[in-house]
Structure 1
Amino acid sequence: MEFLTVPFEASFVFRALLAGSLAAVLCAGIGTWVVLRGLTFFGDAMSHGMLPGVAIAALLGGNLMIGAAASALVISFGVVAVSRSSRLSQDVSIGLQFITMLSLGVVIVSHSGSFAVDLTAFLFGDILGVAWNDVLIIGAATIAGVLACWILHRPFTALTFDERKAHTLGMRPGLTHIGMLALVALATVTSFQVVGTLLVFGLLIGPPATALLMVQGIGRAMTVAAAIGMAQVYVGLLISWYAETAAGATITLLSGVTFLSILAAKALLCRVRLHTVNDNDFQ
C-alpha cells in the first residue's frame, strides 16, 4: 500500500495536497450556495473573467492576486449594476460580463510581445508549485469563508428558497445577494493562482452538485462536498504522479467524472427500485 503515500513524501506534492484540500473545503461551503442559488454561470464568469486583471498585473510586474481581485470587483459590480438598471435577466448580465472580460484579457495578452501571461497556467494553475505562503493564504481564506457561510446561513437560506419571505423578514436580500457574490469572488481570487481557474470552478461546482445528489440538508451537503473535494484532490495528485499527467487538469476531470458516475448510479438505483415495486405489485 506504499504507493498510496509515496508521492506525498515529496514536500511539493504534500504542499499541493494541503492547498488543494483547503481550496476544496472553501469551495464546498460557498459552492453549495452557488448551486442552490443557481449562480453556476456567475462562478464560471468570475473564474474566467479575472484574466484582464491578471494580465495587466503580470505585464506591470505587480501582484497577480491584486489584479484578479480588481477584475472580480469589476465583474461583481457590473452584474449587479446591469441587472438593476435594465429589465434583462441576471444571466444576460453575467454573460455580457463574462465575454467582455475574457475577450479583453485575451486582447491584452495577445498584444504583449512577450506573452507574459501563460494562459495554460491561468487555466490550470501550478498546484505542484505551491509555496507555504500560498497554503497560509488559502487557509486564512478558508477560515473566513467557512465562518461567513455559518454566520450568513439563515439569510442565505431565505434568499435561496424564498426571496419574498427574506424581504418580509427584513433580511435585506439585495445585500445578502451581494454577500454571496463576494464569497464567490473570495474563493476564485484566493485559489486561482495556485490551482488555476478551471480547478477552482471544478471544486466550486462539482463536489457540491455531487453531494446534493447524495444527501439532503444544506449542512450535510457542505460536509459531504468538502469530503468529496478533498478526496478528488488526493486521488488526482496520486494519478498525476504515476500517470505523469497535469495535476490540475486531472483533479478537474475527476470532479466531472465523479458527478456523472453518481448521477448514473442514482438513476440505475431508481430503475431497480421501480422494477422491484412493479414486480411486487404484479405478484
Structure 2
Amino acid sequence: MEWLTAPFEVAFVQRALWAGVLVSAICALAGTWVVLRGMAFLGDAMSHGLLPGVAIAALLGGNPLVGAVVSAAVMTAGVTALGRTPRLSQDTGIGLLFVGMLSLGVIIVSRSQSFAVDLTGFLFGDVLAVRESDLLLLAVALLLALVVSVLGHRAFLALAFDDRKAETLGLRPRVAHAVLLGLLALAIVATFHIVGTLLVLGLLIAPPAAALPWARGVSGVMALAALLGATSTFGGLLLSWHLSTAAGATVSALAVSLFFLSHLASAIRHRRRTHLSRSAAGPVHTPTTRPNDI
C-alpha cells in the first residue's frame, strides 16, 4: 500500500492530482461533443493555434494565459467565418488556420534566443508545478464549462446528429456551433499550461472515446469520461513517480491506453453476444423434400 500512497503524500503531487481531476472534468464536458461530432482535427488545430498569442505575451512580459485567450478567440472566429464559405470545406479552412497560426507562432519564437524553456512548457506542460491559484482557475473554468454545457445541451445534441433538424427546431445551429467552439477553446486554454498543447488532446479525446461504447446517453459519456480521465491522472502520476517519467505525458499515454483497452473489451463483448445469440437460436434446419411428398 505504501507504493500506492507514498507519491500522494507530497504536496505538489497532491496538487497535480487535483488539477488532473479538474482538467479531466473540463475535457469530458467539451471532449464528448468533439468525439460525437468528429472534431478531433479542430481540437488539435485550436490547441496549436494558441502559440502566437502565448509567444507574444511571453515576449512582452505579459500573462501567457491572456495571449492564449486572444489566440483562441481568433481561431474560433476564423473557423466560424470560414465555415460559412460555401466553396471551402470546413477541414480546408481549419487546416489553413492551423498552419498559419502555428507558422506565425514559430516565427515569433524564432526571434527570441531564450524561448526554449517556455516553448517546452507550452508544448508539454508541467502538471507537477501546479499552484493553488491554478486550481482556483481550473475550478472557475469547470463551473463555466458546466453552465455552458447545461444551457446548450439541447442545441448541441441536435447539432451533433442533424444540422437540418436543429434548424427546423429553431435552435440556430450556427450560433450553437460557435458556442461549442467557445467551449472547446475554454477547455484548451484552461488546461494547456497544465498538460501542454500536445498532450491536452489525450484527455480531451481519449476518455470520451473510451466511454462511448459503455455509456447510455451523452450525460453518461461525460460522467464516465471524467472518471476515466481522473483514473488516468492517478495512474499516470503514480507510474511517473516510480518510473521517473514525464508526468503529463504518462497521464496522456495512460488515457490513450485505456481507450484501446475499452474498445478491445467492447469488441470481445460484441463477439460474445453474437455467439450467444446464434447459439440460443439453435441450428438452422433446411427443409428436405421426400419422394412421398411429391
TM category, shorter: over 0.9
* Whole-angstrom CA distance in 1 between matches of 2:66 and 2:104: 17
Contact 2:211–2:262 at 8 Å: present in 1 too? Answer: no
Greater Rg by CA: 2
C-alpha displacement at 1:222, in angstroms?
A: 0.6
Contact 1:16–1:129 at 8 Å: present in 2 too? Answer: yes
* Whole-angstrom CA distance in 1 between matches of 2:2 and 2:114: 44
The percent of aligned pairs where both chains have the same amino acid is 54
Contact 1:187–1:200 at 8 Å: present in 2 too? Answer: no
Which amino acid in structure 2 is aligned with residue 125 of structure 1? Answer: G
Moved more, 84-93 or 67-76: 84-93
Partner of 1:133: 133
Pairing 1:184-223 to 2, within 5 Å after superposition: 184-223=184-223
Partner of 2:123: 123
* Whole-angstrom CA distance in 1 between matches of 2:181 and 2:168: 22
* Whole-angstrom CA distance in 1 between matches of 2:185 and 2:17: 22
* Whole-angstrom CA distance in 1 between matches of 2:117 and 2:81: 30
* Whole-angstrom CA distance in 1 between matches of 2:117 and 2:144: 29
Partner of 2:24: 24
Runs of 4+ in 1 over 6 A off after TM superposition: none
Contact 1:25–1:226 at 8 Å: present in 2 too? Answer: yes
Contact 2:188–2:200 at 8 Å: present in 1 too? Answer: yes
Deviation digits for residues 196-251 of structure 1 (CA, Å, limit 9, x no counterpart): 11332111111011111212201111110110011100110000001110000001
Moved more, 259-268 or 127-136: 259-268
Partner of 1:282: 283
* Whole-angstrom CA distance in 1 between matches of 2:167 and 2:279: 49
Partner of 1:82: 82
Moved more, 24-33 or 197-206: 197-206
* Whole-angstrom CA distance in 2 between matches of 1:282 and 1:62: 73
* Whole-angstrom CA distance in 1 between matches of 2:277 and 2:156: 39
* Whole-angstrom CA distance in 2 between matches of 1:272 and 1:146: 38
Partner of 1:261: 261
Deviation digits for residues 246-281 of structure 1 (CA, Å, limit 9, x no counterpart): 000001101111111111121122223333444453
- What is the alpha-carbon root mean square deviation over aligned residues? 1.5
C-alpha displacement at 1:86, in angstroms?
A: 4.2
Partner of 1:3: 3
Partner of 1:162: 162
Partner of 1:66: 66
Structure 2: state its 5+ residue gaps: 285-294
* Whole-angstrom CA distance in 2 between matches of 1:152 and 1:174: 13
Deviation digits for residues 8-44 of structure 1 (CA, Å, limit 9, x no counterpart): 1111000001111101001101111111122111111
* Whole-angstrom CA distance in 2 between matches of 1:5 and 1:134: 24
TM-score, normalised with respect to structure 2 = 0.92
TM-score, normalised with respect to structure 1 = 0.95
Q: Specify the SS of the correspondent of 1:193.
A: helix
C-alpha displacement at 1:115, in angstroms?
A: 2.5
* Whole-angstrom CA distance in 2 between matches of 1:33 and 1:164: 18
* Whole-angstrom CA distance in 2 between matches of 1:273 and 1:160: 29
Which amino acid in structure 2 is aligned with residue 82 of structure 1? Answer: L
Contact 2:12–2:129 at 8 Å: present in 1 too? Answer: yes
**Is 1:108 the counterpart of 2:108 in the alignment?**
yes
Q: Specify the SS of the correspondent of 2:212.
A: helix
Contact 1:126–1:194 at 8 Å: present in 2 too? Answer: yes
Structure 1: state its 5+ residue gaps: none
* Whole-angstrom CA distance in 1 between matches of 2:142 and 2:48: 21
Which amino acid in structure 2 is aligned with residue 34 of structure 1? Answer: V
Partner of 2:233: 233
C-alpha displacement at 1:116, in angstroms?
A: 5.1
Deviation digits for residues 19-75 of structure 1 (CA, Å, limit 9, x no counterpart): 111010011011111111221111111111111111111111110101111111111
Structure (1/2) with the larger helix percentage: 1
